[in-house]
Amino acid sequence: MTPLNNHFYVAIMAGGIGSRFWPYSRTDYPKQFLDILNTGKTLLQWTYERFTQFIPAENIYVVTHHQYASTVSKQLPNLPQENVVSEPSRKNTAPCVAYISHKIHKKDPKASMICAPADHLIMDPTQFTQTCLNALLFAQKNNALLTLGIKPTRPDTGYGYIQFETEQAADNVYKVKTFTEKPNLELAKTFLKSGDFLWNAGIFVWNTKSILQAFANHLPEMDELFVQENAALNSPKEREMIEMIYSQCTNISIDYGIMEKADNVYVIPANFGWSDLGTWASAYENLEKDYLGNAVQGKNVMVIDATKCMVKAPNDKLVVLQGLDDFILVDTPDVLLVCKKENEQQIKEYVAEVKRHKGEKYL
């Protein structure tokens, strides 16, 4: 076991609303706080535990929407209260990263950090630990913005892709050539064949000096807001200051705002049994199936002549399913979703339609 490094930090990003897992994931209780795979722990709890294996507990932060701060504290009772960092509004990942990077850098100018989503599945935590430590050690010594790339196993259109140089910059570290947002199927097949593309896992590693320099270069207006109010960070005035800053921040992702523009971006190809658990189909992939290929969660579900379905229902409700092939069926007390698995990327659009026609009651 590697000794814990006091200059290594983690920011777990836990502010999203998980709309593609609707209707199980709701605005007031999104997927990171749910036990999606019936493991006995929520996705946030698993993520936190993974990082405690190699990061000092006091160096782990959770950045979330203020609406969820008390939920984070309940689910992670060992996390110091001051390490629950709450955002006043959802402005995508760039303001979130700017906030926590300035905050940690002020506390420890020698800090190197991982920024990771709260809701990913990692099947091989030992390999994950090793990859993260390699990334942190590289980031500590170099002016580099690192991302972890997953070796693709299929031409998936739901992920972003990273193309990398063939020559190593260091042991298993490669310079990034291009980022591509979710491609169509033909392009995804081409990427898979070429061998120099990886899935973008959305897990980032850098030293705080490098990422703050990148904000100054590529999102200077946003960076200036934090620089001007730096004195209030880690003080009683922080909350008031952050509300003011966020009201002026652009809504932009760290990928668009920084990673796709910077010229010091590197990737570590990794294979630690990763899924972003972004959709019901990804949950289906990771759940046990019956002999007809159905993944069923719910003690009173009866399946008759149905195949390859993802079914989630309350334990006390009898659900009889007949004749469906390759469907998602999610039953909650007030919403029933029945959707073809191939159309699951559109669930976000269905949620928008529900909001338009039915208001926010069912969100």
Least confident segment among 34-43, 65-74, 177-186: 177-186
The encoded tokens of residue 57 equal: 């507990």
Q: What is the mean pLDDT of residues 54-82?
A: 95
Tell which CATH architecture fits domain 8-275.
Answer: Alpha-Beta Complex (3.90)
pLDDT, tens digit (0-9, with 9 covering 90-100), for 322-354: 999 999 999 999 999 999 999 888 898 999 999
pLDDT level of residue 20 (50, 70, 90 thresholds): confident
pTM (2 d.p.): 0.93
Q: Using omega within 30 degrees of 0 as the cis cutoff, is the peptide bond preceding 23 cis?
A: yes
The encoded tokens of residue 157 equal: 């259109």
Average pLDDT, the chain: 93
Q: Is 90 exceeded by the pLDDT of residue 48?
A: yes
Q: What is the mean pLDDT of residues 254-261?
A: 93
Q: What is the mean pLDDT of residues 57-84?
A: 96
Are 347 and 17 in contact by the 8 Å Cβ rule? The answer is no
Q: What is the mean pLDDT of residues 111-120?
A: 96
pLDDT value at residue 332? 94
pLDDT level of residue 3 (50, 70, 90 thresholds): low
Instruction: State the SS3 of 169-226.
Output: EECCEEEEEEEECCCCHHHHHHHHHHCCEEEEEEEEEEEHHHHHHHHHHHCHHHHHHH
Helices (H), the chain: 43-52, 69-75, 93-107, 125-141, 185-194, 208-218, 220-228, 238-246, 254, 280-285, 347-358
Q: What is the mean pLDDT of residues 280-289?
A: 92
pLDDT, tens digit (0-9, with 9 covering 90-100), for 87-106: 999 999 999 999 999 999 99
Q: What is the mean pLDDT of residues 179-191?
A: 83
Domain spans of the chain?
8-275, 287-358
pLDDT, tens digit (0-9, with 9 covering 90-100), for 192-249: 877 788 988 999 999 999 999 999 999 999 999 999 999 999 999 999 999 999 999 9
pLDDT level of residue 154 (50, 70, 90 thresholds): confident
pLDDT level of residue 1 (50, 70, 90 thresholds): very low
CA distances from 185 to 87, 283, 343 (A): 36, 21, 14
Q: What is the mean pLDDT of residues 21-33?
A: 93
Rounded Cα distance between 64 and 186, Å, is: 37
Position 160, amino acid: G
The encoded tokens of residue 20 equal: 């593609």
Residue 154 or residue 288, greater confidence: 288
